Structure 1
Amino acid sequence: MVATPIKTEKRLTIQTSEITPDTTVIRSLDWDRDRFDIEFGLQNGTTYNSYIIRGEKIALVDTSHEKFRQLYLDTLLGLIDPKEIDYLVISHTEPDHSGLVKDILSLAPQAIVVGSKVAIQFLEDFVHQPFERQLVKNGDTVDLGNGHVLEFVSAPNLHWPDTILTYDRANGFLFTCDVFGMHYCSDALFDQDLGAIEKDYHFYYECLMAPNARSVLSAMKRMDQLGDITLVANGHGPLLRYNLNELLERYRTWSQAQAKAEKTVAVFYISDYGYSDRLSQAIARGITKTGVAVEMVDLKSAEPQDVQELVNRSAGIVLGMPPLSGSNQKEITTSIGTIIAAANEKQYIGLIESYGGNDEPIDPLLTKFREVGLTKGFTSIRIKETPTEAIYQLCEESGTDLGQTLNQDKKIKQRKSLDSDLDKAIGRISGGLYIITAAKGDINGAMLASWVSQASFEPPGLTIAVAKDRAIESLMHVGDTFVLNVLEEGKYQPLMKHFLKRFPPGADRFEGVKTQLGSNGAPILTDALAYLECEVISRMECSDHWVVYSKITSGRVSNPDGLTAVHHRKVGNYY
């Protein structure tokens, strides 16, 4: 294996390696990228992986992000004569992987573009030049010679509507693009260090794949029909070889848990219109945090029968507003008509503008749903500017609100179950009263907490249990900072009352509360007994909570004689 890093000033580098004599990877390493896709934060950058497969014929699988245009093209030209490329396989048309398709076709006009029907349609919209194409569906093959028979696996909605996976029968390599990837940038080509990558691998799944858990399981069922898979050649992060089976099974386990959810929300969007895909993904992320399943459907490629079936079994519907006119308008209008016809009065509805410049107005469509009897799941999100961090947070919180509403019956039943000796015994575990405050970029958050405990002396550290469906959870990932505000016995009621309120999505949690800015950027409550500034070091998943271990970096007591407020519960099955 030979690796050739090529450095630039902006910390964009290229790494090339021969996985086998017939297969070469070109990895575009984006070391400093800290935001991606639905605007979830990245701790370790990301990569964009592209592959050359050489048989008697040559195939290029995916390209790279346009920010790597010159670096990538120079590297490709150093490895191969573009006139020798017979096939350009497009796993999906998301710009970070297909951003250089037009450049490649200008260098290799003879190349046959291989993709799903939807992918080819999308490419026509932004390549704007004639090109040879071959539409493939599940089970179709392309023979490169020398044993390199490429078999295609249909994997729609992972996480793009046109996704296909590519299996090379010669060596058992499965080219998966976004699927089984992670946003993790390092010089390590493979996944030798499981401990270093597993948190990013899981976080990536939660953000991009969990909203499509049923689609994940369907794709993996198709994968089971292939021969032995010896390598996952993904589109982001290190390739999976050393921990391949373990990491594949984690996807299956996580997806099975999501698919067993009692309730489902259908999220409809238009993949290439405005910010519909990203905003819808943020809402889906918020919904899945509550344990409610999500199925995302692109209205441009949706079949009316599939739309009707999904709406019929969904407890809620979220719709990214479509354009008033444009390509595929007939199909989109038909799908919306199908959604309204299949909706029923027991369901919830949420609408969001796509900021595409030509959005259909929200109010007339909302009226149609209300006339059918649907209940508004969250306040319609009306976007008047390019989405910011705060808007994405608003979308996630709106999704969480919808999920929590759908879970109300379950929670009421849980609270009525007060006769269990076990629940009463657990309720005797007491804790202090604290308010966690956090800020990151344009967004901030706060929550009342009592599940807090000191966890280490050197460095000084503590643990906090944070429910998965709490809005602040997204601000408490590894590397994030926050403040633990300690409430004082006899003086905590005003702060406790304020932060126990149910805040609407996007609301300012600190309105009317005295604060000062901590050195880590998080708000400190002026009326707290003491505060501790903290940095998240690790997280452990515990069913419905995350246990967050954090290092304490500084702190101060405002009243040396004050005592920490203590919280006692009657039962331990809710708070």
Structure 2
Amino acid sequence: MRKIKLANNIYWVGAVDWITRDFHGYSINGTTYNAFLIIDDKVTLIDTVKGPYTGELLHRIRNIIDPKKIDYLVVNHVEMDHSGALPEIMEAINPEKVICSKMGHKALLQHFHRPDWPYHVVTSGEEIRLGQRTLSFLETRMLHWPDSMFTYLKEDQILFSSDAFGAHFASSERFDDEVSQDILMREATKYYANILTLYSPFVQKLLAQVQEMQLPIKMLAPDHGVVWRSNPAAIIEAYSRWCTHQGNGKALVIYDTMWDSTKMMARAVAEGLHEQGVEYKLFDLQVNHRSDVMTDVLEASALVLGSSTLNNGMLPRMVDFLMYMRGLRPAKKVAATFGSYGWSGEAVGMMNAIIKELDIVLCHKGLKVPYVPEHGQLGQCVELGRTVGRAMQAMMAGEKVESVL
């Protein structure tokens, strides 16, 4: 087994998961569970892996050093995809210290019920000398759990960033300059959109704190995906955009349909966006997974949602998508709704009600059409698209756009 080196005496010892396809409702094509080994006077392991991959972690460590020579174990994040291996690893290495945040200590006790482990609780700014190298710590509460923290290796300027700056991306390669940049950035966008959007205020605060500390960062080593060694500034700059909800000037038409009437309306809405000079994408929820749609929602400036009415409510796939989006709380967009119905037509009002809970401006009261739209009603859909386009363009120009509801 080849040794994967980040720098002199610093190694990747994690595991690649080629199998997993679902992560909390987020569709993925595998992932990695990254762990890192630092060889110094005090040999240190940073993070572990998901339980089923414990053997792979130990195998990689043994390829470098006897696991019993590990002195310190740093736990940046207690979620089970990073800590599931802990009980077995603790038996294998018997470390002097298990280094964690205050909230990490609490979470470790609640997960594993082992008060006998040699916990060493650290706070932001605290340092631990390993010999030739120094670790410092930065608590990152609610990115995306209360226990989360970063570990910074000062001499090598490597930031071990836990779940930040990661991607659920299974690959035979370990570094950003070894994979397609288009694929990598798409996966990083999807990761932020589906995991971190809700925590954007905390991301803003963290980025400001890191900038204030003036930490030189040569390498970003997250717990999922590849290590950013060639251009860590690229993912940091992307996070600075995403956490402030900067739109890209594009619109999404997201819909579900029963007998294609709402689909006809969606295409007419899209035509109106086009006539207003707005680039758009159409997402039929029957064939697009919620997490793929959410990836585009992150950077979109306008959302137009359509659902037929079923049993006095929305179609199930629209309910699923809206509940998922509501939990992630995207912001600073304009929106409108539409849909076909038979005899009641509640779906439009229900979609409006959910959008009103978010920091998203409803620029139209919504459009309902009974059964199958005729030519004039499709014209109203086109005008709805134009209205959304104008409102989006006004918002992008810095003008205040008021909600109509």
Q: Which TM-score band (shorter chain)?
A: 0.5 to 0.7
Deviations 1:147-179 (A, max 9, x none): x11110110111111001011011100001110
Q: Distance in 2 between matches of 1:211 and 1:509?
A: 20
The higher relative CO (CA closer than 8 Å, separation ≥ 6) is in 2
Give the drift of 1:217: 1.6
Q: What secondary structure is seen at the aligned counterpart in 2 of 1:218?
A: helix
Tell me which protein shows more strand as a share of its residues.
1
1:105 maps to a residue whose letter is M
Identify the residue that residue 465 of structure 1 maps to in structure 2. Answer: 281
Deviations 1:196-237 (A, max 9, x none): 211110111011111011111222222221431000011001
The answer as to 2:122 corresponding to 1:136 is yes
Q: Distance in 2 between matches of 1:39 and 1:466?
A: 22
Q: Residues 46 and 184 of structure 1 are in contact (CA less than 8 Å); yes or no, is this contact kept in structure 2?
A: yes
Identify the residue that residue 514 of structure 1 maps to in structure 2. Answer: none
Q: What secondary structure is seen at the aligned counterpart in 1 of 2:186?
A: helix
Q: Distance in 2 between matches of 1:138 and 1:126?
A: 23
Aligned residue runs from structure 1 range 101-500, under 5 A: 101-129=86-114, 130-146=116-132, 148-192=133-177, 193-224=180-211, 225-257=213-245, 448-449=265-266, 450-452=268-270, 465-466=281-282, 474-475=289-290, 477=292, 499=308
Q: Residues 467 and 473 of structure 1 are in contact (CA less than 8 Å); yes or no, is this contact kept in structure 2?
A: yes
Q: Residues 25 and 291 of structure 2 are in contact (CA less than 8 Å); yes or no, is this contact kept in structure 1?
A: no
Q: Residues 153 and 222 of structure 1 are in contact (CA less than 8 Å); yes or no, is this contact kept in structure 2?
A: no
Tell me which protein shows more helix as a share of its residues.
2
Q: Distance in 1 between matches of 2:47 and 2:308?
A: 48
Q: Residues 154 and 219 of structure 1 are in contact (CA less than 8 Å); yes or no, is this contact kept in structure 2?
A: no
Q: What secondary structure is seen at the aligned counterpart in 1 of 2:388?
A: coil
Most deviating of 185-194 and 161-170:
185-194
Q: Residues 236, 501 of structure 1: CA spacing in aligned structure 2 closer, same or farther, 3 A cutoff?
A: same
The answer as to 2:379 corresponding to 1:567 is yes
Q: Distance in 2 between matches of 1:234 and 1:28?
A: 13
Q: What secondary structure is seen at the aligned counterpart in 1 of 2:190?
A: helix
Deviations 1:439-486 (A, max 9, x none): xxxxxx979412457xxxxxxxxx963489x999744838xxxxxxxx
Within the candidate set 12, 18, 26, 1:25 is matched to 12
Q: Distance in 2 between matches of 1:250 and 1:177?
A: 17
Q: Residues 173 and 230 of structure 1 are in contact (CA less than 8 Å); yes or no, is this contact kept in structure 2?
A: yes
Q: What secondary structure is seen at the aligned counterpart in 1 of 2:128?
A: strand
Q: Residues 52 and 59 of structure 1 are in contact (CA less than 8 Å); yes or no, is this contact kept in structure 2?
A: yes
Within the candidate set 42, 46, 58, 1:73 is matched to 58
Q: Distance in 2 between matches of 1:475 and 1:564?
A: 32
Deviations 1:19-42 (A, max 9, x none): 112100013111121101x21111
Q: Distance in 2 between matches of 1:55 and 1:434?
A: 53
Identify the residue that residue 71 of structure 2 maps to in structure 1. Answer: 86
1:176 maps to a residue whose letter is S
Q: What secondary structure is seen at the aligned counterpart in 2 of 1:198?
A: helix
Q: Residues 564, 75 of structure 1: CA spacing in aligned structure 2 closer, same or farther, 3 A cutoff?
A: farther
Q: Distance in 2 between matches of 1:447 and 1:29?
A: 44
Give the drift of 1:500: 6.5
Q: Provide TM-score, normalisation by structure 1.
A: 0.47
Q: Distance in 1 between matches of 2:83 and 2:195?
A: 18
Q: What secondary structure is seen at the aligned counterpart in 2 of 1:126?
A: helix
Q: Residues 16 and 170 of structure 2 are in contact (CA less than 8 Å); yes or no, is this contact kept in structure 1?
A: yes
Deviations 1:539-558 (A, max 9, x none): xxxxx9xxxxxxxxxxxxxx
Q: Distance in 2 between matches of 1:20 and 1:110?
A: 23
Q: Residues 16 and 31 of structure 2 are in contact (CA less than 8 Å); yes or no, is this contact kept in structure 1?
A: yes
Equivalent pairs counted in the alignment come to 305
Q: Residues 102, 447 of structure 1: CA spacing in aligned structure 2 closer, same or farther, 3 A cutoff?
A: farther
Q: Residues 22, 509 of structure 1: CA spacing in aligned structure 2 closer, same or farther, 3 A cutoff?
A: closer
Q: Distance in 2 between matches of 1:65 and 1:190?
A: 21
Identity %: 25
Q: Distance in 2 between matches of 1:170 and 1:502?
A: 63
Q: Residues 48 and 64 of structure 1 are in contact (CA less than 8 Å); yes or no, is this contact kept in structure 2?
A: yes
Q: What secondary structure is seen at the aligned counterpart in 1 of 2:245?
A: helix
Q: Distance in 2 between matches of 1:476 and 1:110?
A: 39
1:567 maps to a residue whose letter is G
Gaps of 5+ in 2: 248-252, 272-278, 294-305, 320-359, 361-374, 390-405
Q: Distance in 1 between matches of 2:288 and 2:311?
A: 16
Give the drift of 1:82: 2.3
Q: Residues 434, 55 of structure 1: CA spacing in aligned structure 2 closer, same or farther, 3 A cutoff?
A: closer
Within the candidate set 38, 49, 54, 1:53 is matched to 38
Identify the residue that residue 343 of structure 1 maps to in structure 2. Answer: none
Identify the residue that residue 327 of structure 2 maps to in structure 1. Answer: none
1:213 maps to a residue whose letter is S
Q: What secondary structure is seen at the aligned counterpart in 1 of 2:146?
A: coil
Deviations 1:276-331 (A, max 9, x none): xxxxxxxxxxxxx9xxxxxxxxxxxxxxxxxxxxxxxxxxxxxxxxxxxxxxxxxx
Q: Residues 451 and 464 of structure 1 are in contact (CA less than 8 Å); yes or no, is this contact kept in structure 2?
A: no
Q: Residues 164 and 222 of structure 2 are in contact (CA less than 8 Å); yes or no, is this contact kept in structure 1?
A: yes
Q: Residues 62 and 97 of structure 1 are in contact (CA less than 8 Å); yes or no, is this contact kept in structure 2?
A: yes
Q: Distance in 1 between matches of 2:88 and 2:112?
A: 9
Q: Distance in 2 between matches of 1:228 and 1:208?
A: 26
Q: What secondary structure is seen at the aligned counterpart in 2 of 1:229?
A: coil
2:142 maps to a residue whose letter is N
Give the drift of 1:256: 2.0
Most deviating of 498-507 and 119-128:
498-507
Q: Provide TM-score, normalisation by structure 2.
A: 0.66
Q: Residues 59 and 89 of structure 1 are in contact (CA less than 8 Å); yes or no, is this contact kept in structure 2?
A: yes
